[in-house]
Amino acid sequence: MKVIFRYLFACAFLLEVQSVFAQIETPIMGWSSWNTYRVNISDSLIKRQADAMVDQGLKGAGYTYINVDDGFFGYRDEQGNLCTHPKRFPNGMKAVADYIHSKGLKAGIYSDAGGNTCGSLWDKDMNGVGVGLYGHERQDADLFFNQWGFDFIKIDYCGAGQQLELDEQKRYTEIVKAIRETAKKNVSVNICRWAFPGTWAKDLARSWRISPDIAPDWGSVRAIINKNLYLSAYAGEGHYNDMDMLEIGRGLKQEEEEVHFGMWCIMSSPLLIGCDLTTIPESSLNLLKNKELIALNQDPLGLQAYVVQHEGAGYVLVKDIEQKRGKVRAVALYNPSDEVCAFSVPLSLLELGGKVAVRDLVKQRDEKKIRDSLCYDVPPHSVKILRLKAEERLEPRHYEAEWAYLPCFNDLAKRSRGVAYKPYGKASGGMIVSNLGGKAANYAEWKEVYSENGGEYRMRIAYVPAQGNAREVKDRRLEVEINGQKTCITELESDPAKGVCHVTLPIDLRQGYNSVKIGSAYTWTPDIDCFTLERPVKNKKN
Ligand code: GLA
């Protein structure tokens, strides 16, 4: 009897867990026309790719979107109605969307926040002039989503930024409001501003581009990964950093394709294939269909891996999968350099204890069980993507500044003194957060500082006294807020030559998750490296 009750209880618990997860949308998976065809697309080409998506088994592997990028535009008629390219799409776009839907797939479309498309600027496609959303927001939303039936839109910024110099947040807010009020279906929106646009993006879009356009070469893949290394705090709850469409199947070396796909998966980027699906090389197709890597990307927690160790050329990234703060974690040992990189990662850094089972997700094979540390030599331009299952999950005691959520951060390079991630050799992880403070909103927040039992800790903050005029440096302070309780530290080292300095304060954490904020409402803070938590001696047994 007891056993039956336990079984029923376990089932109820699982259902509960599933229903919580069911609410999070995972990154979209599909195909997009831009990388291979640029503006040279047509209805027959798009249909062939939709056919191949099914025939190659990609639909079965989870790829569902067929996205028409730039190139379908014709002109606007006298009433401002958008007409499609008469030669490339003679039967209009509804027929294309209908065909895609008839294959059990979803259909995506493209436009620009301004008047002209990027293709009109860079590909000299004159049909892209005057066809953007500017001044036609509701009219186009009705056409794209209600009349034609598209499910997704990518909204580019060439016409809006380079030609009209509009404000990103204001412009995308207007457009998305028009879409939400007009479309009779829930449209998936992608913001394409080629840099992390700001924390407002998650209120408007499922995903946002964080980098310039990808190209089918190693330098481009590496540069995009580099852009995304410290953006994990902005992804989550069904909203994602978009690392751009995949260049797999377009000539990269095998190990570089593995880095490309593996890192897009562990960083929870949308996965939009960009090659010709009818001629895709077999090894690329197999990689794109690797179930275990896809599961990492489509994991129900929807988290982006963050950098937990950066020593020499190598980066170690980690994220929870399957269950938050559970005993299973995904890890990437990423070597972007041209030399072999020897990784040695203490398992305590990954918050794992006891014996740990290791599975290589690229090779899809189990490795030897480990204890204490994870050691691999990783060849140049390569990655190991691993699933670790431990006997124990340890309480975290170390929090890097570069993991924090910075509400005022963006990568648009428009402000001279905006809060930013800055390399600093002597800092742990080689990275600090600079230009914090100056106003109440400009703080760093660690939203999930975890304590098993709650109680007293000693918080040791590592900071770097920043350069500046003497008065300003002297005024720097740290306002530390634990679950809304603020302490102000004014006695700080002011000589930048001292490098990384420390200050310690006693704090109280509650059991479970805590919010820790560091900022300074009126003056600047010194640059922040990280903080660590220790139990005071009298409480050591906790
Ligand atoms: C921009 C985008 C690309 C693509 C082209 C189309 O460059 O970033 O992804 O959509 O425009 O012209």
Cα–Cα distance between 71 and 34 in angstroms, integer? 9
Q: Which two tokens stand for residue 396?
A: 């975290």
322-329, Cβ contacts within 8 angstroms, sequence gap of 24 or more? 323/17, 325/393, 325/450, 326/393, 327/352, 327/389, 327/390, 327/391, 327/392, 327/393, 328/387, 328/388, 328/389, 328/390, 329/387, 329/388, 329/390
Mutate to test the pocket of ligand 1, among 192, 224, 243, 272 (most ligand atoms within 8 A of CB): 192
Per DSSP, helices labelled H in 299-362 are none
259-283 b/e with 16+ CB inside 10 Å = b?
bbbbbbbbbbbbbbbbbbbeebeee
Q: Which amino acid is at 345?
A: V
Q: What is the pLDDT of residue 536?
A: 86
* Atom 4 (ligand 1) nearest CA: 34
Q: What is the pLDDT of residue 162?
A: 77
Cα–Cα distance between 72 and 276 in angstroms, integer? 18
Check pocket membership of 409 for ligand 1, CB cut-off 6 A: no
Contact present, 214 and 220 (Cβ < 8 Å): yes
Q: How many other CB atoms are found less than 10 A from the CB of residue 409?
A: 23
Distance of CA 115 from the midpoint of ligand 1 (Å):
15
262's enclosing H/E stretch is helix 254-266
Contact present, 516 and 480 (Cβ < 8 Å): yes
Question: Which three-class secondary structure state does DSSP give residue 453?
Answer: coil
Atom of ligand 1 nearest to the CA of 69: 10
Distance of CA 422 from the midpoint of ligand 1 (Å):
29
> Tens of pLDDT along the chain (542 residues)?
444 445 544 544 444 444 444 579 999 999 999 999 999 999 999 999 999 999 999 999 999 999 999 999 999 999 999 999 999 999 999 999 999 999 999 999 999 999 999 999 999 999 999 999 999 999 999 999 999 999 999 999 999 877 888 999 999 999 999 999 999 999 999 999 999 999 999 999 999 999 999 999 999 999 999 999 999 999 999 999 999 999 999 999 999 999 999 999 999 999 999 999 999 999 999 999 999 999 999 999 999 999 999 999 999 999 999 999 999 999 999 999 999 999 999 999 999 999 999 999 999 999 999 999 999 999 999 999 999 999 999 999 999 999 999 999 999 988 778 999 999 999 999 999 999 999 999 999 999 999 999 999 999 999 999 777 766 777 899 999 999 999 999 999 988 899 999 999 999 999 999 999 999 999 999 999 999 999 987 654 54
pTM of the model: 0.94
Give the sheet arrangement for strand 306-311, strand by strand.
306-311, 314-320, 328-335, 382-393, 352-360, 365-366
CA 425 to chain centre: 25
* Atom 9 (ligand 1) nearest CA: 213
Cα–Cα distance between 346 and 352 in angstroms, integer? 9
66-90 b/e with 16+ CB inside 10 Å = b?
bbbbbbbbbebeeeeebbbbeebbe
Residue 43 a catalytic site member:
no
The single residue listed with the structure tokens 């039956």 is 4
Q: What is the pLDDT of residue 88?
A: 98
Q: What is the pLDDT of residue 160?
A: 87
Residue-wise pLDDT tens digits, 204-251: 999 999 999 999 999 999 999 999 999 999 999 999 999 999 999 999
Q: What is the pLDDT of residue 1?
A: 43
Question: Which three-class secondary structure state does DSSP give residue 324?
Answer: coil
Distance of CA 5 from the midpoint of ligand 1 (Å):
57
Q: Which two tokens stand for residue 279?
A: 């001629």
Cα–Cα distance between 382 and 332 in angstroms, integer? 10
The single residue of 43, 69, 156, 244 carrying the catalytic annotation is: 156
Check pocket membership of 69 for ligand 1, CB cut-off 6 A: yes
* Atom 11 (ligand 1) nearest CA: 118
Contact present, 241 and 224 (Cβ < 8 Å): no
Closest CA to 134 of 168, 171, 167, 108: 171
Cα–Cα distance between 508 and 474 in angstroms, integer? 29
Distance of CA 196 from the midpoint of ligand 1 (Å):
16
Is 44 buried (19+), middle (13-18) or exposed (0-12) by CB count in 10 A?
exposed
The single residue of 51, 123, 142, 213 carrying the catalytic annotation is: 213
Closest CA to 70 of 28, 107, 118: 118
* Atom 8 (ligand 1) nearest CA: 213
Q: What is the pLDDT of residue 538?
A: 65
Residue-wise pLDDT tens digits, 357-373: 999 999 999 999 999 99
Residue 151 a catalytic site member:
no
Mutate to test the pocket of ligand 1, among 32, 118, 269 (most ligand atoms within 8 A of CB): 118
Q: How many helices (H) and strands (E) does the chain have?
A: 14, 28
Check pocket membership of 34 for ligand 1, CB cut-off 6 A: yes
Q: What is the pLDDT of residue 244?
A: 98
Distance of CA 69 from the midpoint of ligand 1 (Å):
8
Phi, psi values for residue 206, rounded to 5°: -75, -30
Q: What is the pLDDT of residue 22?
A: 54
* Atom 1 (ligand 1) nearest CA: 118
Contact present, 159 and 117 (Cβ < 8 Å): yes
Check pocket membership of 70 for ligand 1, CB cut-off 6 A: yes
Check pocket membership of 411 for ligand 1, CB cut-off 6 A: no
Check pocket membership of 118 for ligand 1, CB cut-off 6 A: yes
Q: What is the pLDDT of residue 21?
A: 46
